[in-house]
Amino acid sequence: MQGRLSGDRDGSLGITRDETALRAKALGITAPLFDSFPCILDGQHTARLHPMRLKDGKVVWQYASRALGRSVGLNELRGIRAYGADRGMTRQEAARWGERLDFEAGLAWPYLLGVHLPVSSPLPPEIVAQHMELFVGLRDDRWPIDEPFVFARAFGSAYCDLSPDVWRGAMRWLRRERIIVRVGESHRADLWKLAAQSGPARPAAKVESSPPHARSGA
């Protein structure tokens, strides 16, 4: 189904070089595949994209840089750049960053849920609501559109490009206005639903990625 991804991929598996180049461009990498370029994480070390063949024959494109001390898939690289630091990620978490990267590369389209905020809404809640809608709309087909989701602080603030404090305040506002609803808990993390998830979703044409916002929330 157009615009939906499948699998918890922690790298770019079984894709064409053209698609890899689009993902690389979305990450700010303009050098041809296999060529060296300044690391996008620190700008000091040299980095390179290279394919790695797995035992099952699949090919994983990896990002190698001394800034990391290891090679990572493009999905994980997108998350590391958002977090501002290397941190352990589950395959599921890396997959969510991969969906975001494919959207930014023009390779995936989200379902639009029709999230509406009051006209007088502050900017941070608008940013969080837009990114939550994007997150839900891009999720793997194994999660129905009305499935609750975890949007924990570290991930949520990085996904929205807001500081944790600004993100937390925006979440409180959205909950108070019933734009989001807490519906339970999973592994000690809150489970959320957007109010719009209770209605039918509609397939969306490609929409532009939200402009980057400073982590201060300005």
Question: Is 6 exposed, middle or buried (CB count within 10 Å of its CB: 0-12, 13-18, 19+)?
Answer: exposed
Q: Where do the DSSP E strands lie in the chain?
A: 12-13, 36-38, 46-53, 59-65, 70-73, 111-112, 149-150, 180-186, 189-194, 202-203
Q: Flag the least confident range among 36-45, 54-63, 75-84.
A: 54-63
Question: Which segments of 29-122 does DSSP mark as H helices, in order?
Answer: 74-83, 91-104
Residues whose CB falls within 8 Å of the CB of residue 7, separated by 6 or more in sequence, listed in order: 13, 95, 140
HSE-CB of 40 using CA atoms within 13 angstroms? 19
Domains in the chain, please, with CATH?
A: 12-91 (no CATH), 111-203 (1.10.10)
CB 133 within 8 A of CB 125: no
- Do the beta carbons of residue 8 and residue 94 sit within 8 Å? yes
Question: Highest-confidence range of 13-22, 63-72, 201-210, by mean pLDDT?
Answer: 63-72
Which whole number is the average pLDDT over 7-15?
Answer: 43
Q: Which residue has the higher pLDDT, 98 or 6?
A: 98
Tens of pLDDT, residues 112-154: 898 999 989 999 999 999 999 999 999 988 888 889 999 999 9
Mean pLDDT of the chain: 84
Q: How many residues does the chain have?
A: 218
pLDDT for residue 210 is more than 50: no
Q: What is the model's pLDDT at position 187?
A: 87
Q: Identify whether the C-beta of residue 170 lies closer than 8 Å to the C-beta of residue 94.
A: no
Indicate the SS3 state at residue 185. strand
Per-residue confidence at 104, pLDDT binned at 50, 70, 90?
A: very high
Burial of 171 (0-12, 13-18, 19+ CB in 10 A): buried
- At 155-166, the pLDDT tens digits run 999 999 999 999
Q: Tokens at residue 130, please? A: 């837009």
Please say whether the beta carbons of 143 and 188 come within 8 A.
no
pTM: 0.82
What the block records as the tokens of 196 is 């719009």
pLDDT over threshold 50, residue 13: no
Q: State the Cα–Cα distance between residues 39 and 128, nearest whole angstrom.
A: 29
